[in-house]
Structure 1
């Protein structure tokens, strides 16, 4: 009876709740512990992956990598250094980096520590003592900082100069080959353009040559007559006989014609010389110095050649002042003008109205030349690509796609501007601007 009277239900419930609370706290602590364990394991995996990643990068590096403390004691190296000096990584760690540096450079390497406080050391040449002798290196050195930003050492990365020199040599060879290929490409395009003009040039040469040839035939006949007359004079013919001979052979007229025939022959020869000089200037592979030249002569020569060779008639509106002084390589600009006029004429092949309008003007900055056609203009798809190499809208066999690309490069080398746009009234208009000598030099 007394035991039952001592039992307190409230106290029992409170004790049971306390144990439940303790058990819950233990479960929460265990869950936290498990979560922490999982996070630690994940961090360990990440650290292992990061270390593996770092080791793989260092192993793949061809450059020498050395990690030192502030006293120059090696704390880490990569495969490139172990192969260079012929020792393992474990054998190198803990040794001074000066062990592998030429003695005369020790002071300079020790001076790195002072320099690293202000800035990194870039492209410094050192000699590393390798297993096969001294190896010159181009070294970059940076400070190694801890999580507080305090310097705890330095990192040196060096590349053997032999590799750099070989790379530079290969680069120079590749650059020279590229320049040669570019020159051949330009010359090839010039010859392609010249080939299209051969018929017109041949016709142009034929006129003065025919004129000279005809004059020489007349001069030969006159020479025969004069030889016959002078032979008669030398043989002692009478005055009456000589007078009759002069009248029959019309020597007075022949003598009067001599100066005209000689002048005409010289004029024809000079014209041939001019045409040959224009061809030589256009086709020459040699690049002369920039100089002042008559742009109107280059335009009219190109225009004359192309019109002679054209399969259809084109109305030409010529508003170019003569002379028109420009500055640059006359032969190269001549090539640009030929390409622009050729493209303008070709663009009008299917047009009902074929009109080529050429304008030019000069001011204090330079010379502006515009060439407008009445063709179909430039489509929206073609416009962004017209200056790209090998891009052409002409049928196969009618164009290489290099003319405008090379022309753009030539004008850029002259510090000029070349653009081709659709004209507001139809057709396309090409604009070529060449700066004068002062603007080009500036």
Structure 2
């Protein structure tokens, strides 16, 4: 096999402007190796300490992200990878598997660092490769961050929608069964031939029952005791449909009041009368549940529309900052409830409106709230405080969690691109970088203070710009 020459390296597009003597120097201080097909050129997590040039071969770089195997890049002939000047990469993000026999040369970073000033064109070429790699990685990670955020929001929204949808399905089925029995109940009611006075008493009683349904549902124990008490009372009236007791208990009916009502009808008519009352109350309950569930779905759809600012111009506009925060909490409500987190909101309703890109600000609230929820996960519960205030110059939003806090030795790095303390697959390290970029585009600032048991992020926007 012929040795690699400086002329051969100069034919690599990224190195075409580098003088031959500098490429000769690079070859002199590099090691060559062959990696057979199926073997890794490097593994995820390996220290990045060499600049590697693929002379020939093919390498697929892949990693497991969010539990799924994904290809990150592919290296072919003349590709340059590994350590590059001014790069912050410390460890390989993925595993580079050789898809065919691969020939590479590698120069240790320590050697390149010592000679950067003496080999200007070589350094310039490597820096250009580094900036291109950062741009490509940033675009990839930002897209991945958006997909992760979308996945979290869609999963939470699906769970939020599941409850009202299930309630609608359940209520619709029960209402259908109830309607099927109406002809038989009508026949029974017709057979007892109520007088006009009796019909008036019955209708008035039903309306009172419907109006008296408690707004707040009773506790299971209280409802069970009430049901058993009314079952015993129905038994004294020779009414065998014990399911009637459950509905009467739900509508918080008192047996003394029911006794007075019953005194106005012949005892033999009571089973038919209470069967009709039961059917009417069940129908009323089902319709009410359908209304509440439909309203919940409408509210969620409204929150999504407002969160994404659909049907609105993608330009800065004056917005109430609280609307975006509220919509964000609605989007993350399932995750908040799953994390057993208490949310405390303290808003200054006199805040001036902010001129902003509302969709971008919602990304800020989503990232900060989501990070706070993740931080409190280790406690199996938490307290999330969101407050808004203002002073003469700024509008402030503070988001506080009672998680374990950010270690002091990494607090200065949390806004760095790709820096993350989360497990592999849980974070890209771009969440806070995105927050910083968006806030700065709005002429604002973001700060954090963290001690064990308390972390506060404060986002501030100047009033004079609005």
Normalized against structure 1, the TM-score is what?
A: 0.47
Structure label with greater radius of gyration: 1
Q: Larger % of helix: which?
A: 1
Point out which structure has higher relative CO (alpha carbons under 8 A, 6+ apart). Answer: 2
Q: TM-score, normalised by structure 2?
A: 0.45
